[in-house]
């Protein structure tokens, strides 16, 4: 499975962006997919995750109510809609996929087998 993240950019605080994570692999619907982010000088952190059938999603507390993760398995793509962006959301955003990710490991980056190249999100104040 190869992942391609896109949609990042420069936006003012309060603005919106939609990130996309497109997969070139087969059976994408069998993978748990999550978004992580890494700001300069900080560790990579979990942002949002979605299980195979989209019935379960999880969010980091600081993005709840502002970000929405969704997936279109027919298009082999997972999206992260980001609204009400804040300067502290500035980071490189990575999508990650794993077939064997269990619920308790959803937020653990070590549980994922495949990573996209990252897309820069910059929010100006």
Which tens digits make up the pLDDT trace of 9-36? 999 999 999 999 999 877 888 999 999 9
Alpha carbon distance 83, 96 (integer Å): 21
What count of other Cβ atoms lies within 10 Å of the Cβ of residue 113?
12
Are 10 and 33 a contacting pair, CB within 8 Å? no
- pLDDT tens for each residue of the chain, 125 residues long: 899 999 999 999 999 999 999 998 778 889 999 999 999 999 999 999 999 876 799 999 999 999 999 999 999 999 999 999 999 999 999 999 999 899 899 999 999 999 999 999 999 99
Nearest CA-CA partner of 91 in 80, 105, 77: 80
């Amino acid at each position: 499975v190869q992942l391609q993240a896109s949609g990042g950019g420069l936006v003012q605080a309060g603005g919106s962006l939609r990130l996309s994570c497109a997969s070139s692999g087969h059976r994408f619907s069998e993978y748990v997919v999550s978004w992580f982010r890494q700001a300069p000088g900080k560790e990579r952190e979990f942002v949002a995750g979605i299980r195979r059938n989209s019935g379960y999603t999880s969010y980091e507390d600081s993005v709840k109510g502002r970000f929405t993760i969704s997936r279109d398995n027919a298009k082999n793509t997972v999206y992260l809609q980001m609204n009400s962006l804040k300067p502290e959301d500035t980071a490189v955003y990575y999508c990650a996929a794993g077939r064997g990710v269990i619920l308790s490991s959803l937020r653990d980056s070590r549980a994922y087998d495949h990573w996209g190249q990252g897309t820069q999100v910059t929010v100006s104040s």
